[in-house]
């Protein structure tokens, strides 16, 4: 392998191919550059959506109108949701870390269809921009919530169609990325890398890719049906025209529930890479973790009705959905046991990646347990559409997928940029993030049970104490995010040069220089052993 | 450059033409069946014939019969998942 | 399953074909959503659906089915021709496929304009007087056949590109992935119609 210092080694960041300069980025087909492009775009959109969230928190610091009226508030939670869900958490992990590391981890030089990969990126940008534009065009920002429930989404006079088209285009980007990854994993693994010699992050990307490919078209056609209802008066969901609004909910959640597995499976894959490295010990239960990813993807495709328990569906279907919802928790729990067992008896090094990975387990479990409260028919009635739900999904998505993402960035940053960040600042930022997060969201469980509805800009005075605490937590968390971002930007520019393998990892990405060269490997490695063998050399 | 190491099976013109004849016969059958008043059975029969036609197009015209086991499993699995989604949705509508 | 190591830049036939198959699955699920809606409303309003379907011309529908089935055969034969190194025969067969597709679209055009002349279209005043199930039937009819026709049109474009590439000997007996994938796409268009036809035309 070329080492830095060797004449032939050029980092992918500096490589000059067919196009020079900025075109070398805008027209790149290098999976690493595409991963970075997504990374930068997502950081920008994340902070936009986070600020929108902070504005909501400021509004909620007191009952009644504080800084905005109800229409503005409705527009805010709608766009906050649309950006966070469709522009950030669904695309992020496959598009950033899947793109950057999947080929490297399986010993390939790129994905199966590099130009399709670039096309996916531009679809993503177009969709994201269209979503943002929906705020500023003619009849006003959409106020339907990101879930676009009919009949309101068919009737609202705001720019709903912009948002629907944006979501459709973003979905198409997701489908093409998933397609690319499935073919890549099937066709481009290094010689000797059978399925069960593949590391676990690629396994999680594989399961995720199938959901992207199969579930997304269904929401695609559903959004088209809503557009048809708005423009052509085709009334599949309008009772006056014979339709059924609950049918929209079915179709919407048939995608949007599996979508949360698109969010969480790669996150679980990332922490599964981190635990063995920072315990210097093979992952416990490789087979169980691989198969549980597939199981979650499969079973999770059939639980969507738990979003609809109070919508008037049949008792039989509610029973079935509740049952399957409980079942799908099992493979997730299996993963938790395996992660903890991986650390047990290992040489544990509490660097930032591991710190975030352990926090992930804690926060994900709170989210998971409260999911059971929601999944249980009787208790669901009390907490449906309250801030209990808001707290639950923020724990799972932000505490789960978000913190796993932070773990992944802290883990792979030295590989991607060839520089190390400041560990002390990283730990301080972690503290602000972790404690700020819990102060922000935990009170919302409590007032949710007490009856605080979600998506309301006003509330009864008895909830104010909790809302104030929550808002304070939001500011602490926001400070932590800014500090973390500052740490990374500073490191990328003038951080200490990082070695090829700062964490003593054993998967393929640590065997190549930091940053990697354009084609990843001089020669494609030949794989002869299981992954995660510590203390032995497992490559030729 | 075709780097495939498998010898691709090439369908003969005769086999393809035979497949078309069978498909046209099945089409005639499904149209003919509608002239009998079979009520609910008509739906079932029409769908069964359509499914047979689909299977023939997939295995013969689309060459699935000669493709890898993985591809066969994939397409079967996908139809199964879709069927399950419809069945579970009907667990709501049928029992309301 | 066989594992193939492919170098980036060398476009492996099997890889390209797998990508196309997965794309076809996404199309199946796209239409699948509409089939789900159809199933739900057909179960609820079976009599209305039966009545509304009388408006459809079974003969034209059957003719269109024959066109598409035949075009599937001709494009499959075109693939055989190119694999057997008969590019002129392949050209001819692809052309015939496009011709049948065009005939399908012409039929569709007449069907739709005929209905428009009877004021049967979404949002029309006539439709308002119909039963709810009939309204839904026509909504589904337009959306499903409309989306399908869009795919026929895209298929025609893909096949036309193949005509050009075969003539230029870019697609030939050694390199025929584009034709193979376009043929797969075309068969999908046929498949969807095979289900649409009985569900819309044969429920009288």
CA distance C202 to C200: 6
Whole-prediction pTM value? 0.94
B interface mutation test: which of C26, C30, C73 has the most B CBs within 10 A?
C73
Classified as helix, coil or strand, A497 is strand
Is the dihedral angle over the CA atoms C66, C68, C71, C73 positive or is it negative?
negative
Q: Say if A393 falls within a structural domain.
A: yes
Tokens 């000669």 -> residue: B66
Instruction: Let me know if A319 is exposed, middle or buried by CB neighbors in 10 A (0-12, 13-18, 19+).
Output: middle
For the segment A27-49, the average pLDDT, to the nearest whole number, is: 97
| B55 and B87 share one domain | no
For B72-85, how does the pLDDT look when each residue is reduced to its tens digit (9 = 90+)?
Answer: 999 999 999 999 99
C186 interface with A at CB cutoff 8 Å:
no
Query: Chain A residue closest to C39 (CA)?
Result: A247
In a domain, A2, yes or no: no
Which residues in chain A are contacts of C32 at CB distance < 8 A?
217-218, 221
Same domain, B41 and B78: no
Instruction: Provide, as residue numbers in chain C, all residues whose Cβ is less than 8 Å from the Cβ of A215.
Output: 29
Arithmetic mean of pLDDT, A238-258: 94
Distance in angstroms (rounded) separating the CA atoms of residues C153 and C145: 12
pLDDT over 90 at A202, yes or no: yes
A193: closest CA among A289, A100, A104, A296? A104
The three-class DSSP label of residue A527 is strand
pLDDT over threshold 50, residue C164 = yes
Instruction: Give me the CATH number covering residue A84.
Output: 1.20.210.10
Residues B46 and B75 in one domain: no
Give contacts of B66 with chain C, Cβ < 8 Å.
none
Residue C23 C-alpha, separation from nearest chain A C-alpha, in angstroms: 7
> Phi and psi (nearest 5°) for C2?
-75, 140
Cβ pair A302:B85 closer than 8 A: yes
Residues 6+ apart with CB under 8 A from B21: none
Instruction: Answer yes or no: do B11 and C80 touch at CB < 8 A.
Output: yes
| Residues of B with Cβ-Cβ distance to C4 under 8 angstroms | 3, 5
Q: What pLDDT is stored for residue B47 in this prediction?
A: 87
Grade residue B41 by pLDDT with cuts at 50, 70 and 90. confident
Indicate the burial class of A193 (C-beta count within 10 angstroms; 0-12, 13-18, 19 or more).
buried
d(CA A339, CA A246) in angstroms, rounded, equals: 40
Q: How does A126-165 read in b/e, with b if 16+ C-beta sit within 10 Å? A: bbbebbbebbeeeebbbbbbbbbbbbebbebebbbbbbbb
Instruction: Using CA coordinates, name the residue in chain C closest to B6.
Output: C14
Residues near A203 by beta carbon (within 8 Å), at least 6 away in sequence: A269, A289, A290, A293
Q: Enter the tokens of residue A534.
A: 């510590």
Instruction: Enumerate residues 48 to 107 of chain C having a beta carbon within 8 A of any beta carbon in chain A.
Output: none
Residues B58, B71 within the same domain: no
Touching A: B residues 52-71, CB under 8 Å: 70
Contact between C26 and A191 using a beta-carbon 8 Å cutoff: no
Say yes or no: B54 and B87 in one domain: no
Please check whether residues B19 and B41 belong to one and the same domain: yes
CA quadruple A117, A119, A124, A125: dihedral, nearest 10: 120
Cβ contact A302–B88 (<8 Å): yes
pLDDT value at C204 more than 80: no
Residue length of chain B? 96
pLDDT, tens digit, 9 for 90 and up, residues A339-363: 999 999 999 999 999 999 999 999 9
Is residue B71 domain-shared with residue B85, that is, in the same domain?
A: yes
Instruction: Please identify among residues 81-100 of chain C the ones whose CB lies closer than 8 Å to any CB of chain B.
Output: 83-84
Architecture per CATH, domain C14-201, reads as Up-down Bundle (1.20)
User: Are A186 and B88 a contacting pair at CB < 8 A?
Assistant: no
A411 or A159, higher pLDDT: A411
Distance CA A533, CA A540 (A): 14
- Whether the CB-CB separation of A111 and A181 falls below 8 Å is answered with yes
Single out the residue of A509, A538, A511 nearest to residue A526, CA to CA: A538
Q: What is the mean pLDDT of residues A1-27?
A: 82
Asked if residue B20 and residue B47 are part of one domain, the reply reads yes
pLDDT for C3:
42
Domain identity same for B50 and B73 = no
- Confirm whether B9 is domain-assigned: no
- Cα–Cα distance for residue pair C180/B63, rounded to 1 Å: 10
**Domains contained in chain B, number:** 2
Tens-digit pLDDT profile for residues A285-295: 999 999 999 99
Chains contacting A with at least 3 CB pairs below 8 Å? B, C
> How many CB atoms are closer than 10 A to CB C174?
10
Distance from CA of B7 to the nearest CA of A (A): 18
CA distance C154 to chain A (A): 17
- How confident is residue C5, by pLDDT bands cut at 50, 70 and 90? very low
pLDDT in tens, A74-119: 999 999 999 999 999 999 999 999 999 999 999 999 999 999 999 9
Long-range contacts of A72-77 (CB under 8 A, 24+ apart): A73/A457, A74/A143, A74/A145, A74/A455, A74/A457, A75/A135, A75/A140, A75/A141, A75/A142, A75/A143, A75/A158, A76/A52, A77/A145, A77/A455
Asked if residue A538 belongs to a domain, the reply is no
pLDDT in tens, C62-96: 999 999 999 999 999 999 999 999 999 999 999 99
Q: Spell C9-22 as b/e; 16+ CB within 10 A means b.
A: eeebbbbbbbbbbb
The pLDDT of residue C12 is: 84
The A residues from 63 to 102 touching B (CB cutoff 8 Å) are: none
Domain that holds residue B80: 67-96
Q: What pLDDT score does A533 carry? A: 86
- Domains: count for chain A: 1
Nearest Cα neighbor of B75 from B58, B50, B57, B52 is B58
Closest residue in A to B70 (Cα) is: A186
Residue B44 belongs to some domain of the structure: yes
| Lowest mean pLDDT, pick from A32-46, C46-60, C115-129, C161-175 | C115-129
- Residue B55 and residue B74 in one domain: no
**A301 inside 8 A of chain B by CB:** yes
């Amino acid at each position: 392998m070329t080492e830095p210092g060797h004449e032939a080694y050029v980092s992918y960041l500096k490589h000059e191919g067919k196009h020079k300069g900025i075109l070398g980025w805008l027209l790149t087909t290098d999976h690493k550059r595409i991963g970075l492009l997504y990374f930068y775009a997502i950081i920008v959109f994340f902070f936009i959506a986070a600020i929108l969230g902070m504005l909501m928190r400021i509004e909620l610091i007191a009952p009644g109108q504080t800084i905005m009226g109800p229409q503005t508030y409705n527009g805010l939670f709608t766009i906050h949701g649309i950006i966070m869900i469709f522009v950030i958490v669904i695309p992020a992990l496959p598009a950033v870390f899947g793109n950057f590391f999947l080929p490297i981890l399986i010993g390939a030089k790129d994905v199966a269809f590099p130009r399709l990969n670039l096309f996916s990126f531009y679809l993503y940008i177009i969709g994201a921009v269209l979503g943002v534009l929906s705020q500023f065009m003619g009849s006003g920002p959409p106020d339907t919530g990101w879930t676009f429930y009919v009949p309101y989404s068919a009737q609202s006079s705001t720019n709903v169609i912009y948002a629907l088209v944006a979501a459709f285009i973003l979905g198409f980007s997701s489908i093409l990325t998933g397609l690319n990854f499935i073919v890549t994993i099937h066709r481009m693994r290094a010689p000797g890398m059978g399925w069960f010699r593949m590391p676990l992050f690629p396994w999680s990307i594989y399961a995720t890719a199938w959901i992207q490919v199969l579930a997304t078209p269904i929401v695609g056609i559903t959004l088209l049906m809503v557009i048809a209802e708005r423009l052509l008066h085709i009334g599949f969901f309008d009772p006056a025209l014979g339709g059924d609004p609950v049918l929209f909910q079915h179709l919407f959640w048939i995608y949007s529930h599996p979508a949360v597995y698109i969010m969480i499976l790669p996150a679980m894959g990332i922490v599964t890479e981190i635990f063995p490295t920072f315990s210097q010990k093979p992952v416990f239960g490789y087979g169980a973790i691989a198969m549980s990813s597939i199981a979650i993807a499969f079973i999770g495709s059939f639980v969507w009705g738990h979003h609809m328990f109070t919508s008037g569906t049949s008792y039989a279907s509610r029973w079935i959905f509740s049952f399957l919802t409980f079942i799908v928790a099992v493979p997730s729990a299996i993963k938790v046991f395996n992660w903890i067992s991986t650390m047990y008896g290992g040489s544990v090094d509490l660097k930032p990646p591991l710190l975030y990975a352990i926090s992930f387990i804690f926060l994900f479990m709170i989210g998971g347990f409260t999911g059971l409260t929601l999944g249980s028919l009787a208790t669901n009635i009390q907490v449906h559409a309250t801030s209990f739900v808001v707290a639950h999904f923020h724990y799972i998505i932000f505490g789960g997928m978000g913190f796993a993402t932070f773990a992944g960035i802290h883990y792979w940053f030295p590989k991607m940029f060839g520089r190390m960040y400041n560990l002390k600042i990283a730990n301080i930022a972690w503290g602000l993030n972790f404690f700020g997060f819990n102060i922000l969201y935990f009170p919302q469980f409590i007032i949710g049970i007490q009856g605080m509805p979600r998506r309301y800009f006003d509330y009864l005075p008895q909830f104010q104490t909790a809302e104030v605490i929550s808002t304070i937590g939001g500011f602490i968390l926001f400070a932590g995010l800014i500090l973390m971002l500052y740490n990374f930007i500073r490191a990328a520019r003038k951080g200490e040069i990082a070695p090829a393998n700062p964490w003593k990892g054993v998967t393929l990405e640590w065997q190549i220089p930091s940053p990697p060269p354009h084609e990843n490997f001089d020669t494609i490695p030949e794989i002869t052993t299981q992954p995660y063998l510590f203390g032995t050399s497992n490559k030729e | 450059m075709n780097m495939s190491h498998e010898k691709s099976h090439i369908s003969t013109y005769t086999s393809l033409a035979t497949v078309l004849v069978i498909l046209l016969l099945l089409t005639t059958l499904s149209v003919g069946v509608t002239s009998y008043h079979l009520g609910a059975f008509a739906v079932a029969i029409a769908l069964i014939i359509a499914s047979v036609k689909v299977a023939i197009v997939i295995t013969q015209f689309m060459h699935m019969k000669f493709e890898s086991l993985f591809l066969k499993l994939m397409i079967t699995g996908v139809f199964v998942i879709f069927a399950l989604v419809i069945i579970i949705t009907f667990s709501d509508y049928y029992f309301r | 399953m066989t594992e193939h190591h492919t170098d980036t830049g060398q476009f492996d036939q099997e890889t390209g074909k797998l990508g196309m198959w997965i794309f076809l699955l996404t199309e199946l699920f796209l239409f699948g959503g509409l089939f789900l809606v159809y199933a739900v409303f057909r179960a609820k309003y079976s009599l209305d659906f039966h009545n509304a379907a009388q408006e459809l011309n079974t003969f034209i529908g059957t003719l269109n089915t024959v066109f598409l089935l035949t075009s599937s055969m001709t494009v499959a034969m075109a693939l055989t021709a190119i694999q057997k190194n008969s590019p002129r025969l392949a050209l001819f067969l692809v052309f015939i496929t496009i011709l049948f597709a065009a005939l399908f679209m012409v039929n569709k055009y007449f069907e739709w304009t005929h209905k428009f002349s009877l004021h049967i279209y979404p949002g029309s005043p006539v439709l308002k007087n119909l039963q709810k199930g009939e309204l839904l039937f026509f909504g589904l009819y337009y959306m499903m056949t409309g989306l399908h026709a869009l795919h026929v049109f895209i298929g025609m474009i893909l096949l036309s590109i193949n005509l050009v590439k075969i003539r230029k000997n870019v697609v030939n007996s050694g390199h025929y992935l584009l034709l193979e994938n376009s043929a797969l796409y075309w068969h999908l268009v046929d498949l969807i119609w095979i289900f649409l036809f009985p569900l819309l035309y044969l429920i009288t």
